[in-house]
Chains A and B, each alone.
Chain A
Amino acid sequence: MSEYFRAVDPFPLQGSQNTRLAPFYEALRSQKLLTTFCPQCALRHWPPRVVCPDCLSDRLDWIELPDQGTIHAYTIQDTGVPPGFPRPLIFAVVRVEELRIFTRLVETEPGQVERGRTVRLLPSAVGQDPEGDERYVPTFTLARGGAGETSLVKIVTA
Chain B
Amino acid sequence: MRRVALVGAGLSRFGVRAAGFRELLAEAGRACFASVPHLTPKDIEGLVVGAVLPERAAFQSHIAPLAAETLGIQPSKLSARTEHMCASGTAGIRYAYAFIAAGLADIVMVLGVEKLNLPNMGEAVLNMGTGVDRDWEACFGLTAPPSFALAAQLHMAEYGTTEEQLAHVAVKNHTHSSKNPYAHFQNGVTLDAVVCSRMIASPLRLFMCSPITDGAAAVILASEERAKEITDKPVFIRGTGQAVHGFSVSSLDPDYASWPAMKQAAGAAYTMAGIAANDVDFAEVHDCFAIAEIIAYEELGFCPKGEGGPFVMEGRSDYDGDVVVNPRGGLMGCGHPLGATGVAQAVEAFWQLRGEAGERQVPEAHIGLTHNNSGMGEHVVMIYGRE
The verdict on B64 contacting chain A, using a C-beta distance below 8 Å, is no
Count chain A residues whose beta carbon lies closer than 8 angstroms to a beta carbon of B: 37
The verdict on A75 contacting chain B, using a C-beta distance below 8 Å, is yes
Instruction: State which of A57-65, A97-105, A142-150 sits at the interface with chain B.
Output: A97-105
CB interface residues, B 101-131, toward A, < 8 Å? 122-123, 125-126, 128-129
Roughly how many angstroms separate A11 CA and B134 CA in the complex, as a whole number? 7
A83 and B202 in contact (CB under 8 A), knowing A103-B140, A115-B157, A155-B157? no
Identity of the chain B residue whose Cβ is nearest the Cβ of A135 in the assembled complex: B139
CB interface residues, A 1-45, toward B, < 8 Å? 10-12
Given contacts A75-B150, A85-B141, A99-B250, 13 further A-B contacts (CB under 8 A): A47-B135, A73-B256, A77-B141, A78-B201, A79-B199, A80-B145, A80-B200, A81-B125, A89-B146, A100-B254, A102-B137, A139-B140, A156-B202
The verdict on B249 contacting chain A, using a C-beta distance below 8 Å, is yes
Roughly how many angstroms separate A93 CA and B139 CA in the complex, as a whole number? 15
Partner of A80, one of B125, B248, B250: B125
Is the CB–CB distance between A126 and B139 below 8 Å? yes
Is the CB–CB distance between B125 and A158 below 8 Å? no
The verdict on B143 contacting chain A, using a C-beta distance below 8 Å, is yes
CB interface residues, B 133-157, toward A, < 8 Å? 133-143, 145-146, 149-150, 153-154, 156-157
Is the CB–CB distance between A77 and B146 below 8 Å? yes
Roughly how many angstroms separate A77 CA and B141 CA in the complex, as a whole number? 10
A-chain residues with CB within 8 Å of residue B135 when the two chains form the complex: 12, 47
B-chain residues with CB within 8 Å of residue A72 when the two chains form the complex: 254
Identity of the chain B residue whose Cβ is nearest the Cβ of A105 in the assembled complex: B140
Report A102-133 CB contacts with B as 1/0, cut-off 8 Å.
11100000000001000000000010000000
Q: What's the nearest-Cβ distance from chain B to residue A113, in Å? A: 10
Partner of B156, one of A101, A156, A158: A156
25 contacts between A and B (CB under 8 A): A10-B126, A46-B250, A47-B135, A73-B154, A75-B149, A75-B153, A75-B203, A76-B202, A77-B141, A78-B199, A78-B200, A79-B200, A81-B125, A82-B122, A82-B141, A83-B125, A85-B140, A93-B150, A100-B254, A115-B157, A155-B156, A155-B203, A156-B153, A156-B163, A156-B202
Q: What's the nearest-Cβ distance from chain A to residue B130, in Å? A: 8
Is the CB–CB distance between A102 and B201 below 8 Å? no
Q: What's the nearest-Cβ distance from chain A to residue B253, in Å? A: 10
- For A77, A83, A126, the residue with the greatest tally of chain B CB atoms inside 10 Å of its CB is A77
Is the CB–CB distance between A102 and B136 below 8 Å? yes
Q: What's the nearest-Cβ distance from chain A to residue B136, in Å? A: 4
Is the CB–CB distance between B200 and A77 below 8 Å? yes
Q: What's the nearest-Cβ distance from chain A to residue B198, in Å? A: 6
Q: What's the nearest-Cβ distance from chain B to residue A18, in Å? A: 11
A-chain residues with CB within 8 Å of residue B157 when the two chains form the complex: 115, 153, 155
Partner of B136, one of A47, A85, A126: A47
A-chain residues with CB within 8 Å of residue B156 when the two chains form the complex: 155-156
Q: What's the nearest-Cβ distance from chain A to residue B373, in Å? A: 18
A75 and B139 in contact (CB under 8 A), knowing A91-B150, A93-B150, A100-B254? no
Partner of B122, one of A46, A75, A78, A83: A83
Roughly how many angstroms separate A11 CA and B151 CA in the complex, as a whole number? 25
Q: What's the nearest-Cβ distance from chain B to residue A76, in Å? A: 5
A89 and B140 in contact (CB under 8 A), knowing A75-B153, A77-B146? yes
- For B123, B133, B135, the residue with the greatest tally of chain A CB atoms inside 10 Å of its CB is B135
Roughly how many angstroms separate A47 CA and B252 CA in the complex, as a whole number? 12
Roughly how many angstroms separate A91 CA and B150 CA in the complex, as a whole number? 9
Is the CB–CB distance between A12 and B134 below 8 Å? yes
Q: What's the nearest-Cβ distance from chain A to residue B135, in Å? A: 4
Is the CB–CB distance between A137 and B140 below 8 Å? yes
- For A46, A82, A83, the residue with the greatest tally of chain B CB atoms inside 10 Å of its CB is A82
- For B126, B140, B200, the residue with the greatest tally of chain A CB atoms inside 10 Å of its CB is B140
A-chain residues with CB within 8 Å of residue B123 when the two chains form the complex: 83
Roughly how many angstroms separate A76 CA and B145 CA in the complex, as a whole number? 10
B-chain residues with CB within 8 Å of residue A156 when the two chains form the complex: 153, 156, 163, 202-203
Identity of the chain B residue whose Cβ is nearest the Cβ of A99 in the assembled complex: B250
Is the CB–CB distance between A75 and B202 below 8 Å? yes
Is the CB–CB distance between A77 and B201 below 8 Å? yes
B-chain residues with CB within 8 Å of residue A83 when the two chains form the complex: 122-123, 125-126
B-chain residues with CB within 8 Å of residue A78 when the two chains form the complex: 198-201
Identity of the chain A residue whose Cβ is nearest the Cβ of B127 in the assembled complex: A82
